[in-house]
Amino acid sequence: NRHSLAHLLAAAVGELYPGTKNTIGPAIDNGFYYDFEFPAEIDGKPFTISEKDLPKIEKVMRKMLPSWHGFSHKELSEKEARATFANNPYKLELIEEIVKKGEKITVYSSGPESKQFTDLCRGGHSDDMAKDVPADSFKLLRLAGAYWRGDETKTMLTRIYGLAFGSKLALDEYETMLEEAKKRDHKILGPALDLFTFSDLVGAGLPLWTPKGTVVRNLLDNFVWELRSAHGY
């Protein structure tokens, strides 16, 4: 289901933002993501995607979902594949790699016949998304930058992360866990409790212990050494 939702995300983004180039979109632990190259302009106006746009994309995904049933599979020749994705250099690069490996080029489609979304893919999808994926069981989480193929010499893309679970309850429980984890972030708690601070002069991620923090650290160090000594370690 998570991989299928990545396809649905790409379809929704394509409908909302014409000219966007979709690249790859795998399933991951607790959800999915898809990397995009968004156009600099849409309808003659400068465009930049932001996290404020995520609810709008979600809304389109949920609107599409009832019409997304099974995924149809088709094997293409190299010529057919290149023609299908002629306007997407990222897909063309993937097609070239598939050909070099001697593998089959396959595409998967879903959505109503009048408006199907087709993507280059190896497969592994929901049998019927409209039935298998509750509309309230997924949520778009955040944006991130990601270089194409993880290569910093290549194009910087926009990655959209989504959460997906089997039910709204499971999704809510996971979001609650994330919020609780934020409250326990040592980078927040340490300065708040006056245990340590950070300075750009020293370097990001390197704590400077305050007097109070030094006392706590020494107490913990002494306790550890007592345990080592007691056990002859």
Q: Please check the confidence at residue 104 and state whether its pLDDT lies above 90.
A: yes
Q: What is the dihedral of CA 10, 12, 14, 20, to 10 degrees?
A: -60
Can you spell out the DSSP letters for 120-136? Answer: E------S-HHHHS-TT
Residue 150 near residue 124, CB atoms below 8 Å: no
On whether the CB atoms of residues 137 and 125 are closer than 8 A, the answer is: no
pLDDT, one tens digit per residue, over 199-232 is: 988 887 789 999 999 999 999 999 999 999 999 9
Q: Are strands 105-110 and 196-197 parallel, antiparallel or unpaired?
A: unpaired
Beta strands in 4-155 (DSSP E): 21-22, 27-28, 31-37, 41-42, 45-46, 72-76, 105-110, 117-120, 138-147
C-alpha Rg value of the chain to the nearest Å: 24
Mean local confidence (pLDDT), 80-106? 96
pLDDT in tens, 118-154: 999 998 899 999 999 999 999 999 999 999 999 999 9
pTM, entire model: 0.82
Distance of CA 213 to the CA centre of its chain: 37
For position 114, what pLDDT does the model report? 83
